[in-house]
Structure formats: C-alpha cells, structure tokens
Structure 1
Amino acid sequence: MIDTFAVLDRLPTPAEHRRLAEAVGWTTAFDWDTTPASLAGSLAGVVAMAGNHVVGMGRLVGDGVKYFYVQDLAVLPAHQGAGIGTALLRRLLDHVASTAPSTAFVGLFATDGAVPLYERSGFTRGDMTGMFRLVKPTEGPTEG
C-alpha cells in the first residue's frame, strides 16, 4: 500500500485502462479493440498516480447536463484501502458539480466489494433497481 498519491484530471490511456481493469478481474468485461473510442467518448476522466505509475482510474459518461454515470472506477488491489478510490470518486463528483447547470443524477453500477465506498460518498439504492442489457451489433441496417 502507498502513503502518497496524486489525482490527475485525465483519462487513462487504453493500455493503462486495460492493465487496471484486468488487475481487478474485469478481463472479459471489455472489447479491447473498441476501448480507445469508448474512452474518447467520456465526459471526464481521472487517474491516480503513485510516482510514475497509474494505480487507479475512473471516468464519467453521460449527457454532460443532467445525467452522469461513474464508469470504470478501479484501483490496483495492492493499493486499495489507501483512500484512492474515494479521492477519484470525489474528483469525478466535483466535475459534475462544477459543470452541471442544475441538480444532476449520478448513477453507477458497483461490485459488492465497492458498495461501501459508494455508500460513504452518499450513493444509495433508493427505490430503484439497477439493470442492464447487452446488445449485439446488427449485421446491417434494419428496416422499419
């Protein structure tokens, strides 16, 4: 575990993203060929640096006005518990607060192990249930 780290306002590179994602067990969660375009479509990103090494990341996706989603927040296992995840999340929420023109909805999906991190930062399940669906690309244009 580290004692000091810095949070930078930038997206992880595709290589950094893959290294961190695989380190936390998200090996099959991404189509690595599309990661560069996905990262480029982000609203904002943050990375945590320990010396010259990226040890954490997070990003925001959404419409940039009313709806924001925390995406790909990950910290290398050896560096978890040092406040890095909290610092990354705080920086992302600060970005929302400084750019949204009115009260914004910030959503996310969390692994069971990450739920306490998000709850400490004010996230709640409320009366909603998070859901998702995977949609495969079509072979060609659909006729309607």
Structure 2
Amino acid sequence: MSYELRESVPDPETFVALREAAGMAPRSLEAARRGLGNTRYGVSMVATATGEPVGMARIVGDGGCVYHVCDMVVEPAHQGEGLGSRMMDALMAYVDEHAPETAYVNLMADVDGFYEQWGFERTAPASKGMYLPSE
C-alpha cells in the first residue's frame, strides 16, 4: 500500500477517531474543534488508494520559546510501514527551519526507543513531566 504525507491536520472528527483507534486518551469533538486551529504545524498520512487518513502528528506551542510534539498516531492496521518516522521527519524539518536555537522542543514519549533517533532524551532526573488529570 502507498501513502501520501499531507501538511495539514485532519478534521476534528478524524482527529478524535484516529486517537481512539490507537488507544490514546480520548479528546472530545469540542476540544478538537478548539485545539486543531492552534496547531503550529501538522501532518496527516493518507492511504493513496482510498484517501483515508491513517495517521497524524502535530506541533503546538508559542512559535518561539516552546514547541511541543503531540498527537502522533498511526492506525494499528498501518503500523510498521514507517509512517510514524515519515511524520516525525516532517515535524523535525519544520523545527529545524522555524524554531530558534534556544527553543525548548519537547514531547511525551509513549513508545520506548522511537524518538531518540531524532535526538530526544529523557528529562529525568533533571526534571520530571507532570500533568493535571481530567476528572
């Protein structure tokens, strides 16, 4: 199967469905509608034969000091085809071109050994990631 990388985020319904298909924490349609427009840079992976979106990834942040890689997902049926790597290559090309040298580029890694190939390192023990759980 062949795939096309598109420099755009999916619509809110597809965004929610892709996260669900990959077993990621759910996001509401309202949250997706509010948030996707604030994407600094995003990509979608589309199966060329069907036009079906099968993956996505994006960067959010302030465009100067902080760039956060998030919502990296490939539908399970399409994993193992290098799609995540292609999307990360695109995101990192954006960072290389647009982020100031002193920008803090971060992500929450949920796959061991994947993000290191782009130079990401664990922050602990120097710092620890934290979050505010939803109710």
- Matches of 1:103 and 1:82, distance apart in 2: 33
Aligned pair count reads: 131
8 A Cα contact 2:70 2:107, kept in partner: yes
How far off is 1:120 after superposition? 2.3
List gaps (5 residues or longer) in structure 1.
137-144
Instruction: Calculate the aligned-residue CA RMSD, in Å.
Output: 1.7
Q: Alignment identity in percent?
A: 34
Q: What secondary structure is seen at the aligned counterpart in 2 of 1:68?
A: strand
8 A Cα contact 2:44 2:57, kept in partner: yes
Q: What secondary structure is seen at the aligned counterpart in 1 of 2:94?
A: helix
Q: What secondary structure is seen at the aligned counterpart in 2 of 1:116?
A: coil
- Matches of 2:7 and 2:23, distance apart in 1: 24
Computing the radius of gyration from Cα coordinates, the structure with the larger value is: 1
Amino acid at match of 2:42: G
Partner of 2:3: 5
Q: Does 1:64 align with 2:63?
A: yes
1:86-139 CA-partner distances (Å, limit 9, x unpaired): 11111111111111233422111122xx22211222211043322111478xxx
Partner of 1:125: 122
- Matches of 2:77 and 2:13, distance apart in 1: 19
- Matches of 2:13 and 2:26, distance apart in 1: 15
- Matches of 1:35 and 1:44, distance apart in 2: 15
Amino acid at match of 1:122: G
How far off is 1:30 after superposition? 1.3
Q: What TM-score does the superposition give when structure 1 sets the normalisation length? A: 0.82
- Matches of 1:34 and 1:16, distance apart in 2: 13
- Matches of 1:129 and 1:34, distance apart in 2: 26
Q: What TM-score does the superposition give when structure 2 sets the normalisation length? A: 0.87
